[in-house]
Amino acid sequence: PIPLCALSPTTTSQALKYLSIMVFEQISINFVNEKLQQFFNHHMFVVEQEEYVKEGIDWVMVDFGMDLAAAIIMFEKPMGIWAILEEESLFPKATDKSFEEKLKASLGKLPVFLKPASKTDKNAHFGISHYAGVVNYNVTAWLERIKTLSMKLLLSFSSQPVLA
């Protein structure tokens, strides 16, 4: 997949229309993009408008993208995507299917967590309404990827040459 963080917001929006299915690393990048976009919107628009009001400029406040909060909260909440992924990765008998089922049970009623609608990959498990558009995700091998990354990180801190 194209790393969306390398694209401008306009290009990102256009790219999302053509990318059908995303892997674990891509959902991580897309989450960070949501956080960066929220930070940018807040500091460039909200804070600037507050400054206008302080200076007495005749100004009507405009809402610039706090709609990002719903997707960010879905990732970060106590039983959000990251928490469920972490929890499932700790259980040896967890499967891609059990992870998918927990996501749907916990997040299925949120307006930003969508049923899969990929035209190119019928194996998509869910979609997310990101700031730049809807992206479909396939959770196959996410748990294995997390376990592999965790083990590599753990081993990188070892002072034993055999483990490091």
**What mean pLDDT, rounded, does the chain reach?**
79
Which range, 76-90, 116-130, 146-160, is most confident?
A: 76-90
Structure tokens given for 129: 């309404």
Structure tokens given for 82: 């990251």
Phi and psi angles of residue 135, each rounded to the nearest 5 degrees, phi first: -125, 135
Pick the range with the lowest mean pLDDT from 9-23, 71-85, 130-144.
9-23
Structure tokens given for 107: 């997040």
At residue 33's C-alpha, the angle toward residues 31 and 35, to 5°, is: 75
pLDDT on residue 19: 44
Residues 29-56: pLDDT tens digits?
A: 999 998 998 888 888 888 888 898 899 9
pLDDT on residue 22: 55
Return the number of other C-beta atoms located less than 10 Å from residue 144's C-beta: 12
